[in-house]
Amino acid sequence: MNPKSKTTAITGDPSSACSIEATLDVIGDRWSLLVLRSVFRGNHQFSTLQTELGIARNLLSSRLARLVENEVLTKVEYQRRPKRYEYRLTGKGADLSQALIALMNWGDRWYASGKAPTILTHRSCDAALEQVVVCTACGTDVGPTAISSRPGPGRRT
């Protein structure tokens, strides 16, 4: 272990940090994120999700209901008789891809000895993807120690 002590300012001042909290209120438990990961991967049906995740029915039910209630997933009827439903990402749900990619990349770097189990690729190029934080003015790829913050328009006073 060779820890480097670092301080950054990526989450701003105390009065203005509620966006991370708002996010965690919706998806901030392990099962919700694993359910989402599985839906992103193309599993849309209750039974498929249950099998893949090895999760108890009642837990899966409650997580799915909560994700639907929060409009991250939508429940769509795909068969009439008998009625069958599947779970699809809404636009808001699909917009979580950056967060899932970040969590996956971190796991790759620190728990897979740099050997990614999955490489994300650009569908049309087949080349690998990279997640970066860039400056909208100078275009620099900005690392955590070069990040600062200022109050935005939604700051609570």
Q: Does the N-terminal peptide bond of residue 14 adopt cis geometry, omega within 30 degrees of 0? A: no
Per DSSP, the three-state class of 70 is: coil
Q: Does 157 bind a copy of itself (CB under 8 A)?
A: no
Scan residues 5-44 and list those touching a copy of itself (CB under 8 A): 5-25, 28-30, 33-34, 37-38, 40-42, 44
The C-alpha angle with vertex 74 and arms to 126 and 77, in degrees rounded to 5, equals 105
Selected binder of a copy of itself within 58, 79, 80, 137 (CB under 8 A)? 137
Q: How far is the CB of 42 from a copy of itself (least distance, A)?
A: 6
Q: Are 50 and 60 in contact (CB under 8 A)?
A: yes
Scan residues 39-98 and list those touching a copy of itself (CB under 8 A): 40-42, 44, 52, 71, 74, 76, 88-98
